[in-house]
Amino acid sequence: MTVAIAVPTEQAVPTEQTEGHLRILSLLRSEWLKLRTVRSTMWSLVAMVVISVGVAVIACVETARQWHTMTLASRLSFDPTSSSLAGLTFSLLVIGVLGTLVVSAEYGTGTIRSSLAAVPNRPLLLATKAAVFALVAFAVGEVLSFASFLIGQSLLTSPAPHAALSQPGVLRAVIGGGLMVGVIGLLALGLATIIRHTAGALTAFFGILLVLPAVISALPSSIGNPIEKFLPINITGTMTSVVHTNGGAPAFSPWTGFAIVCGYALVALVVGGVLMVRRDA
């Protein structure tokens, strides 16, 4: 008589590393679901499209129409790339609002408690929120930047000059414009994590982008000029420009300025993460 002996086979046992990867992926999917299902996201993105492309159309059409009446100095200092990317400056405000709501809306409604109960690791929760938002913000920023540039340049009819991506500095300005949209959005998200209140976070964000430049411009040039080059709004202007006129306030090179703004966003996110760990929900 033959006796069959069952030999146990090896079963795939999830390792701690595999479980960690699966958990992070599920967190990313969860944050993506939160972001895409709220109405503020859709309306913010629609507003950015309308503003960025709309300003590009208006600026370039008006320049082409009034080129014959412009002074020689205005013609020599005209920057077709900057004109078509002018709407991105206004889009910074919109992406800032959306970045603020990503965090502050959960604190305002109290749903942050559910999120923290599901993910006790608070730095990990903040990191996944920032990662999902950054992916959306950078992607939208680049699409808007290239769309605004291409549409704007198509409307700059002769004799007004137009730019091409192959010209020196133009591709850098277009790519840089989209990058600025993303990093400014992360700065707003970091401020919201620190302040945890929508109105307060928006006040701080608009103060940095709009009020602070106005205050500094009122100071004597010997004091204001060295400070102005550190302002995010001025760094954005440098990044999206190709023609730099003489006699203006000193400015960092485009990529140096971008690194500085990245530093602002990183500091805001790190401080927000530390406070998120230390404070109660």
Q: How far apart are alpha carbons 7 and 10 in whole angstroms?
A: 10
Q: Which residues contact 88 (CB under 8 A, 6 or more apart)?
A: 52, 141, 144, 145, 148, 177, 178, 180, 181, 236, 240
| Domain boundaries along the sequence of the chain | 90-147+163-278
Q: How far apart are alpha carbons 20 and 237 in whole angstroms?
A: 42
Distances in Å between the Cα of 76 and the Cα atoms of 72, 231, 245 are 6, 27, 9
Q: In this predicted structure, which of 30-39, 142-151, 230-239, 245-254 has the lowest mean pLDDT? A: 245-254
**Is the bond preceding residue 159 a cis peptide, omega within 30 degrees?**
yes
What pLDDT, on the 0 to 100 scale, is given for residue 6?
47
3-state secondary structure of 261: helix
What mean pLDDT, rounded, does the chain reach? 89
Q: Which of 102, 108, 273, 128 is nearest to 185 (CA)?
A: 102
The answer to whether 61 and 155 have CB atoms below 8 angstroms apart is yes
Q: How far apart are alpha carbons 210 and 235 in whole angstroms?
A: 13
What pLDDT, on the 0 to 100 scale, is given for residue 248?
60
Tokens representing 100?
């603020």
What pLDDT, on the 0 to 100 scale, is given for residue 235?
95
pTM for the whole structure: 0.89
The answer to whether 201 and 195 have CB atoms below 8 angstroms apart is yes
Angle formed by the axes of helices 39-66 and 87-109, to 10°?
Answer: 170
- pLDDT tens for 77-105 read 899 999 999 999 999 999 999 999 999 99
What pLDDT, on the 0 to 100 scale, is given for residue 243?
84
What pLDDT, on the 0 to 100 scale, is given for residue 19?
53
Reported as a pLDDT band with limits 50, 70 and 90, residue 57 is very high
pLDDT(159) > 60: yes
